[in-house]
A = this chain, B = another copy of it.
C-alpha cells in the first residue's frame, strides 16, 4: 500500500531529521532505515524538499493536536498556558515523535520551502499568542517578547535535556512559574 510506505518514510525521516537536521540526513540514510533504496523514495515524494515539508506538516499536526487536547481540559489563563507549555515540551522531548523537527533550523533551506514551513509554524504558535494575550500581565509588559522568552527557553531544552532528570512536564511548569 502506498499509504504504509509513505507513513513509514515520514516517521523514519522525522526521527533522523530531529537528530541530525535536514541537510545532514541523506536520502540514502532514510531509505536504508525504511527498507528500500534511495531512488525508490521518489515514487512517494517528488523531492527531498517535499519530504521535508511532509514531515514538518506531520510534526505540526501532531504537536498541535496534543496542545489542543491539553487545552480542552483546563480553564483559566494561567493553567491554560501551563497546560499548553507542558504539552509543547512533552512533544518536543518525546524521542519517537515527529514534533521535534519543529526546533530544527530553517535558515538554510530554500526560500520557498522555508516560507511554507514558517507559515505552518506560525499557525501552530498562534495558539500561544492567544494564550499569552489572555494573561493578566502588568500593563507595561511586551507580550510578544514575553512569549518569545518563554518559547525560547522551552525550545532550547532539547540542547541540554537528558532523560533521567526532571520530567519534561515539571520543566515546563517550572518555567511558566518562574515567569509569573
Contact = CB atoms under 8 A, between A and B. Distances in A.
A148 B160 CA distance: 8
Nearest to A160: B148
| Copies of this chain per assembly | 2
A157 interface: yes
Contacts of A155: 152, 156
Contacts of A152: 152-157, 159
A23 interface: yes
A148 B155 CA distance: 11
Q: How large is the interface on A (under 10, 10 to 19, 20 to 34, 35 or more residues)?
A: 20 to 34
Interface in A137-154: 141-142, 145-146, 148-154
Interface of A: 19-21, 23-24, 105, 107-108, 141-142, 145-146, 148-157, 159-160, 166, 171, 174-175, 178-179
21 contacts: A20-B108, A21-B21, A21-B108, A23-B23, A105-B105, A105-B159, A107-B159, A141-B178, A145-B171, A145-B175, A148-B153, A148-B156, A148-B157, A149-B153, A149-B174, A149-B178, A152-B152, A152-B157, A152-B159, A155-B156, A156-B156
